Structure 1
Amino acid sequence: MSTSSTVDRAFETALYDDDADTLDTAASLLAADPGADPELGRRGEEFVATAWRRGWQPADLVRIVRRELEDVHVRLVAALIRAQAPHDRSRGPRWAAQLAGVPEQGPPRTDRFSHATAVLELYRLLLRLPALEPLEAGLPGEAPRREHRPESRALARIRALLAKAEATGYPEEAEALSAKAQELMARHSIDEALLSAHAPSPDAPGACRIGVEPPYEQAKAVLLDAVADANHCRAVWNEPLGFSTVVGFEADLEVVELLYTSLLVQAEGAMAKAEAAQRAGGRKRTKTFRQSFLAAYAHRAGSRLRAAAETVAAETGTATDVDLLPVLASREVAVTDRLERMFPETTTTRLRGAADAAGWTEGTRAADHARVDRRRPLS
């Protein structure tokens, strides 16, 4: 029997249903034929390439496998992504950064039957992946996006400020560092908007996906939406697949990723301290406290971020005698248009489980410590 026939028989036996017995039968076929291993790997690379054609990206694939299966499957899909990459076309700096972030550990050593079982479980998942909205290519009628530029000094400084805010144990210091970071973000966004408006070929909005991981995904999605809105972007949450798609201009997408990640780290640290204090006071229930904490944090942080962005825009326009309103308004229209073409149908949902008064109070207080309000202009 040829190696291709072995793989075909195994796939026909187990890949198109969820029955455990057929999975065992197919895994036994593969385990008994070591010569089928190269063909099995090649088929896996084909599954990965198909996922790319269906709109998935490396970080998406690793995230869904981690969400639905186990660590062994994450290692397997990471190996397939790395093996397929040399045969793929160039897809830009964001894609390259995701490839660089793919886990490097190989699959753990195990017996052939267990390995074949894990491979088939992974392929079952890859086979069933739905098509996603494409992110990398411009939509019909859009202006081409300019080539990616190296990271600016402003972004490097923003990263450093947020890293310090996450690391400090003092709320007042975290507040000051986050405030400086958001001010730099707002100025960076305005600089990019003015630069693009005067370019021969203006930028078009792009999009990226950001994971929204359990637990308390809904409150985290609200926080990401608030960060996106304050930074001239729009976010659409895909609850079943565990991510939000954020639409905006590239400079704004970068700061949304940075700020959301940082605020989430700060929020979780503050929540752990607040929860410990609640337990010390005799409280035992924590799930509703955490949900309410994160919901309040998202609400309060969003208000502060928007206020900071508006203050910087007003100060910049006054200081430079530039009317920013038309520039920012045209970019907002472009972002909304891209969003509506990517997602012609969206629904809204009511935030659940945010009825704990103590959690809401503590979440609001934590957001105040991470707040971003008016500061002296930075040199």
Structure 2
Amino acid sequence: MEPVIDQAFAAALYAHDDTGLDTGASLLAAAPTADDEAHARGEEFVRRAWARGWQPADVIRIVRRELDESGAALAAALIATETARYPHLPPRWADQLAALPAPAPRNRPDRFSYASALLGLYRLLLGLPSIEPVGPAPGTAADRLYQPPAHGESRMLTRIRALLAKAEGTGFPEEAEALTTKAQELMARHSIDEALIAARTHSDETPGACRVGVDAPYETAKAILLDAVATANRCQAVWNSELGFTTVVGFEPDLEAVELLFTSLLVQGTSAMTKAEAGQRAGGRKRTKAFRQSFLMAYAQRLGGRLASDTARVTAAADAGGAADDIPGATEHAAPGSLLPVLAARDVAVTDTAERMFPKTTTTRVRGATDLDGWTHGTAAADRARLGRGGPGIDR
């Protein structure tokens, strides 16, 4: 059956029109005995993606963006089969695999449609560019030697997660404000605790990285928000606008904090934007894309300064005399004046790692907001989230 597969792939995968896909799909649909080999080759395309720096969540995100949800289900089936052959997987992969969409059943709704969708997916996988790896690929020597930091889900992170979940679910802005502020304080304290433990134990832990999806619409505003969250939590963020994600570089506890807070603030901001639009419509004014873009830009910009302010306040309190009494959960104590050199050393390590991963970046000037009502409502929503003002410059 290999000649049939070779003919189908030659027709479909290296052309750029639907005619080639139709020809290849017709050949595969007429050869049921070729199904296993066709899927085995798809698994090989997935392995090639790992070698080029991609991870399961990255593949699913780009397939959804370039194809559709059915294509993501096809990719999920290939990923699940391919990764099942490894005795263990790199850090973060288990969570990504658990979040995969339900795998697509074979040959549904019919053989031709299925084969056409499968070949379209293979065409996309073959064209994926190399990207900066954020960890070893499974099955490689680097993966076998790699020992991830043994952090796990600490009680502090569990509490932070619970606070943010309450902030997202409450219908009272004042309560959401208090909960989100407390969560950021705990994140800052958690980062300090981890830094002090690492310094005291002479840990050889180095910064890592993760990728966070930044999806349309309004991806520029979302990237600015993520950059603000990363900076406030002692990380650096580099946005790849073409592929729809930001790479965040930092120490593992800080990366966890960034992912948690960004996701929560995006939920809170979207909810506030929806309510603001409803109020405007009730007043007889039609809201537009410009309103939503301006809202999220103001929300992201306004949050930056207050995020940084909260972190600076907690850091100053800790450096002045140990764990702050008004921040429950603080455990590590530093001698007065001894904390800042520890944090500075970690900042340098993060900067060095980011510069090695991304030796060439550009700063993008973003388009200003054009809807005054959107900007006003977005600023107010950021104030209610208790997280506030910062510049919009981002690395790209």
TM-score using structure 1 length: 0.93
User: Residue type matched to 2:253 in 1?
Assistant: A
Are the counterparts in 1 of residues 277 and 287 from structure 2 also a CA contact under 8 Å?
Answer: no
Match of 2:348 in 1: 333
Equivalent residues of 1:296, 1:364 under 8 A apart: yes
Deviation at 1:282, TM superposition (A): 2.5
Residues 1:355 and 2:353 are matched in the alignment: no
Aligned-partner Cα distance in 2 for 1:48–1:254:
27
1:112 is aligned to: 111
Secondary structure in 2 matching 1:198: helix
Shift of 1:53: 0.5
Query: How far, CA to CA, are the matches of 1:88 and 1:55 in structure 2?
Result: 17
| Residue 26 (structure 1) aligns with | 24
Q: Deviations over 1:321-354 (max 9, x none)?
A: 3421111111111111111111111111122251
Contact 2:294/2:375 (CA < 8 Å) preserved in 1? yes
**What corresponds to 1:231 in structure 2?**
233
1:280 and 2:282 matched: yes
| Matches for 1:41-52 after TM superposition, within 5 Å | 41-52=39-50
- Among 255, 258, 263, the residue aligned to 1:253: 255
User: Secondary structure in 2 aligned to 1:87?
Assistant: coil
Q: Distance in 2 between matches of 1:134 and 1:243?
A: 13
Q: CA offset at residue 8 of structure 1?
A: 0.8
The answer on whether the counterparts of 1:146 and 1:201 sit within 8 Å (CA) in structure 2 is no
Distance 1:33 1:146, change over 3 A: closer
Query: Do 2:149 and 2:252's aligned partners in 1 also have CA atoms closer than 8 Å?
Result: no
Partner of 1:376: none
Aligned to 2:201: 199
Q: What amino acid does structure 2 have at the position aligned with 1:335? A: V
The DSSP-based 3-state class of the residue aligned with 1:125 is helix
Q: Contact 2:229–2:262 at 8 Å: present in 1 too? A: yes
Classify the secondary structure of the residue corresponding to 2:179. Answer: helix
Q: 2:304 touches 2:387 (CA, 8 Å); kept in 1? A: no
**1:228 shift after superposition:** 0.3
Alignment of 1:1-379 (within 5 A): 3-88=1-86, 90-107=88-105, 109-137=108-136, 147-320=149-322, 321-322=335-336, 323-372=338-387
Deviations 1:128-155 (A, max 9, x none): 00001011149x9xxx865333210000
Q: Alpha-carbon deviation of 1:300?
A: 1.2
Note if contact 2:302-2:387 (Cα within 8 Å) is conserved in structure 1.
Answer: no
* One-letter code aligned to 1:121: G
**Aligned partner letter, 2:341:** P
1:203 positional shift: 1.1
Of 70-79 and 272-281, deviating more is 272-281
Q: How many residues align?
A: 367
Q: Which amino acid aligns with 1:125?
A: L
Distance 1:84 1:261 in 2: 29
Structure 2: which amino acid aligns with 1:128?
G
DSSP 3-state at the match of 1:93: coil
Q: Structure 1 unaligned runs (5+)?
A: 374-379
Letter paired with 1:298: A
Tell me, what secondary structure is at the counterpart of 1:297?
helix
CA deviations on 1:57-94 (whole Å, 9 max, x unpaired) are 00000000001101211110000000001223633331
Q: Is the 8 A contact 2:234 2:347 kept in 1?
A: yes
Is the 2:90–2:136 Cα contact (8 Å) retained in structure 1? no
Query: Bigger CA drift: 208-217 or 196-205?
Result: 196-205
**Using the alignment, how far apart are the partners of 1:48 and 1:103 within structure 2?**
16
Please, what is the CA RMSD of the aligned residues? 1.7
Distance 1:135 1:295 in 2: 28
> Is the 8 Å Cα contact of residues 91 and 148 (structure 2) preserved in structure 1?
no
- AA matched with 1:235: A
Once the two structures are TM-superposed, the CA of residue 213 in structure 1 deviates from its matched residue by: 0.9
Contact 1:145 1:204 in 2 (8 A): no
* C-alpha separation in 2, matches of 1:219 and 1:278: 21
Q: Percent identity?
A: 62
The separation in 1 between residues aligned to 2:87 and 2:148, in whole angstroms, is 19
Residue 157 of structure 1 deviates from its aligned partner by 0.4
Matching residue's letter, 1:314: A
Instruction: For residue 283 of structure 1, report the CA deviation from its aligned partner.
Output: 2.0
